[in-house]
Structure 1
Amino acid sequence: MLSSIVFIVLFLAAVGFFTRNVRRLVRNIKLGRDVKVDDNKPQRMQNMLRIALGQSKMTVRPVAGLLHIVVYVGFIIINIEMLEIVLDGIMGTHRLFLDFIGPSVYGVLIGAFEILALLVLVSVIVFWVRRNIIRLQRFIKPEMKGWPKNDGNLILYFEMVLMSLFLIMNATDPAFQALESGNVVSGFIAPLFNGMEAGTVHLIERSAWWLHIVGILIFLNYLYYSKHLHIILAFPNTYYGKVSPKGQLDNLDAVTNEVKMMMDPDADPYAMPEEGDTAEEPAKFGASDVMDLNWVQLLNAYTCTECGRCTSECPANQTGKKLSPRKIMMDTRDRLEEVGRNIDANKGEFKPDDKQLLGDYITHEELWACTTCNACTQACPVSIDPLSIIVEMRRYLVMEESAAPTELNNMMSNIENNGAPWPYNQMDRLNWVNE
């Protein structure tokens, strides 16, 4: 009875804390501007099933993709057993489903779980080796120092421990081992405990059971503070991801209508906007802080896996420039978290802190190094679009601060004066024919 009460208290506390963090997450994402993403629903659903559930973009790099699928499938399926553990904890029973579904079916399920647990354990060890011994280039970039590196390793340690505890829990359960069904991996571990007193083995089994469930509850609440939040957010992120052609950039309606009016000789420049016209001039052109971005872009930031595929594909980064699309997303998420803490500290209102995303987190040099080639969006395994954030911040620099590079200002001046990007008089534009 006491054990059940302790379990219920721990379980409710963990679920309550997780719920609080989910509300904070949703609140922070909603700080972004509203954007309509209710079009192409069949295509969006297909993208979610293919990319998030089917892991289709992970397998572009076969080795890492296969290992990730093993960890993803194994961890999700193994945690189906959480239902039995939770019910056992609440009711004070032991392997409740054994009597419910019978030894044969139960053995098949647990046997599959044990095989997956072993595969996950091996895959996670390989991931750790890639990060810390082989030290792949994309894992040792400047933005991956400190907490991002520790976070990546910590989650691997979590998975190693949880899988090991699951197998030890089964190996030290004499009743389960006596079934001789389902102990396809734990059966090889069980002999290590031969010769121990029954009470000691039982203590190890109970300790492994408790550590396993407590570890899963800790892992659940750790997600909010980790890049592994993508385990949850990959699904909505791929659903709300970009479905228009990758090379198509969005335009401000107010600017588009202004250009159309300038090109229409019959347009009245002083005409009042018609009722229902949504192209009114925005309060700010582009984005200088996270609140200027739309909520899908903020969802992108929280979904970033920090895998570095975007940065490893970026031609600007490959040539030694400071731009890293991964850092753009990490900086956006860090600034958004800072804004969220500001709101929490000021009773639900944001108190200006003399900081912003542009300048304090992301430099002008990073933004202008981008070639807008879309390699980062193509490489991302969860449909994140760093380019859209870069373009919005460039838009702010050009339209609000007139802070474009000299070369770009010269080009825009030539277009304004000569009708072309080149510094030649319009009357001379056909001189090439004479050559």
Structure 2
Amino acid sequence: MEYLPNILFALVLIVGIGYFTRNVKRLSRNIKLGKDVDVSDNSSQRWKNMAKIALGQTKMVVRPIAGLLHVIVYIGFIIINIEVLEIILDGLLGTHRLFAPLGSVYDFLIGTFEILALLVIIAVVAFWARRNIIRLQRFVKPEMAGWPKKDGNMILYIELVLMFLFLTMNGADYQLQLKGAAHYVNESGIAGAFPVSQFLSPLLEDLSIANLIIVERTAWWLHIVGILLFLNYLYYSKHLHILLAFPNTYYGNLKPKGQFKNLEAVTNEVKLMMDPEADPFAASDDNAPEPEKFGASDVTDLNWVQLLNAYTCTECGRCTSECPANQTGKKLSPRKIMMDTRDRLEEVGKNIDANKGTFVEDGKQLLDDYISREELWACTSCNACVQACPVSIDPLSIIMDMRQYLVMEQSAAPAELNNMMGNIENNGAPWPFNQMDRLNWVQES
């Protein structure tokens, strides 16, 4: 019976990490449904981008208030994980405050954790108020109704509860050390510094040692189990960016914004047309494979980096708030493009799971069933959404690939665009005037 809590803790840990591992494998499988793309170039610049954008949060602080609040939560999340390591080791080994022999270093760490926990609580309350009381415009867009709104608030509630549990656990522990409770006493004196939780003393000091142990152990268990639950909730939440922001910024597009990719098959055709000495029949091959599908109509037509982008989306809405089409009342929301891509990818993944590893045609696709043509053609391709994203997501690349499908596979461009392309083909310019008449306006003046 002495080792029962340790065994129970080990089982909880194995189940929590095991379920998380299963979700990571499913996530990896879904991302790999995308087409392969070579992103092995310029690794030094990619590492710099990851360090600067994901680790350094440089694009978050462009908006000072939200940036500062996010940095507090971000730093708190990373540093407090050191305390989680101690909890895990204590749970497995049956020890208590295993790192206490570090002395003043340990006191400094625990004190820092507590101050950060308090700052995280303040930041979380501010975030909640911005979403639910102030109701910033980017948080009340149509795509944020229902689950996205609940998910955003759920994350804040979880973080709030975890921080209060941490402080309650420390407050009870501090009282147990003062009262000399067995297993809580440290040879070198009080283990840890408690600049925040010591203010809970008036609520706890009158409790007996037995009741204090119940409070401390309950908070301890709820805290670590809550962290494991939160870890497994990430897969179903917008907070998946906690894990994916780093690879996403590493694999971000390094080309200048506005430089679009060329299709090799189309480029070769144009070169052939522009070469007066070329023999179009000399290069023909009856056995050559058919050209692959132009553009994208479903998630499997996108590349894996674009699918990684979809899973990394934080739903912060900075892209949509910067989008000129959205600002002028158009239906387009770059955030919705990423959310729709993720939702369709999840649907495809569930289809594969339900059919033993094989996708069974479901009569749906990303185009029309999730993203409308009106949204796609509202985009001005200005790259404002790409510039605004704090984790290097590129909604424009998905929009352009889907436009390419509409134009090259379905000939379904808007009439104005068809007229322009016809003019370019016939007159070498977007205007409906042949080359011989271009200077007529000079004579008329």
TM-score by length of 2: 0.94
- Whether 1:208 aligns to 2:210 is no
| Residue in 2 that maps onto 1:135 | 135
Q: What is the RMSD computed on CA atoms of the aligned residues?
A: 1.4
Partner of 2:31: 29
Q: Write the deviation string for residues 192-232 of structure 1: whole angstroms up to 9, x where unpaired.
A: 11212221111010000000000000000000000000000
Once residues 183 and 172 of structure 1 are traced to their aligned partners in structure 2, the CA distance between those partners, rounded to angstroms, is 11
Deviation at 1:272, TM superposition (A): 3.2
- Over 3 Å counting, the alpha-carbon distance change for 1:185 and 1:282 in structure 2 is farther
1:66 aligns with 2:77: no
Question: Secondary structure in 1 aligned to 2:223?
Answer: helix
5 Å-filtered alignment, 1:7-406, equals: 7-99=9-101, 101-102=102-103, 104-173=104-173, 174-176=175-177, 179=190, 181-272=192-283, 282-406=291-415
SS at match of 1:60: coil
The answer (yes or no) to whether the contact 1:170–1:176 under 8 Å persists in 2 is: no
Distance 2:274 2:369 in 1: 39
Letter in 2 for 1:144: M
- Which letter maps to 2:346? E
| 33-42 or 386-395: bigger deviation | 33-42
Q: 1:22 and 1:181, CA in 2 relative to 1: closer, same or farther beyond 3 A?
A: closer
CA contact 1:418–1:425 (8 Å) conserved in 2: yes
In structure 1, give the amino acid aligned to 2:56: G
Q: Contact 1:254–1:281 (CA<8 Å) still a contact in 2?
A: no
Runs of 5+ unmatched residues, structure 1? none
Task: Identify which of 417, 438, 444 aligns with 1:408.
Answer: 417
Deviations 1:275-326 (A, max 9, x none): xxxx986321000000000000000000000000000000000011100000
CA distance 1:180–1:84, change in 2 (3 Å): closer
**1:180, distance to aligned residue in structure 2 (A):** 7.8
Q: Which residue identity is paired with 2:25?
A: R
**Cα displacement string for residues 96-126 of structure 1 (whole angstroms, at most 9, x for unaligned residues):** 1113x23x22111100000000001100010
Counterpart CA distance in 1 for 2:190 and 2:284 is 78
SS at 1:420 equivalent: coil
| Amino acid of the structure 1 residue aligned with 2:132 | N
2:310–2:338 contact (8 Å) kept in structure 1:
yes
- Tell me, yes or no, if the aligned pair for 1:311 and 1:324 is still in contact at 8 Å: yes
Structure 1 length-normalised TM: 0.96
Aligned residue type for 2:125: I
Q: Secondary structure at the match of 1:58?
A: coil
Q: What is the letter of the counterpart of residue 8 of structure 1?
A: A
SS at 2:294 equivalent: coil
Tell me by how many angstroms 1:418 deviates: 1.5
Structure 2 CA distance for aligned equivalents of residues 17 and 181 of structure 1: 33
Give aligned-pair identity as a percent.
72
Runs of 4+ in 1 over 4 A off after TM superposition: 175-178
Aligned residues: 429
- Deviation digits for residues 10-41 of structure 1, max 9, x if unmatched? 10001110000000000000000001111111
How much does 1:87 deviate?
0.7
More displaced 10-residue stretch of structure 1: 90-99 or 353-362: 90-99
For 1:299, give the aligned amino acid: L
Question: CA–CA distance in 2 between the matches of 1:181 and 1:169?
Answer: 12
Taking the aligned partners of 1:386 and 1:57, their CA distance within structure 2 comes to 17
Letter in 2 for 1:18: F
Instruction: After superposing the two structures, state which structure 1 stretch, 182-191 or 158-167, moved more.
Output: 182-191
Amino acid at match of 2:131: R
Contact 1:312 1:318 (8 Å CA) reproduced: yes
Whole-Å separation in 2 of the counterparts to 1:425 and 1:246: 33
Using the alignment, how far apart are the partners of 1:236 and 1:281 within structure 2?
34
Tell me the distance in 2 between the aligned counterparts of 1:230 and 1:19. Answer: 16
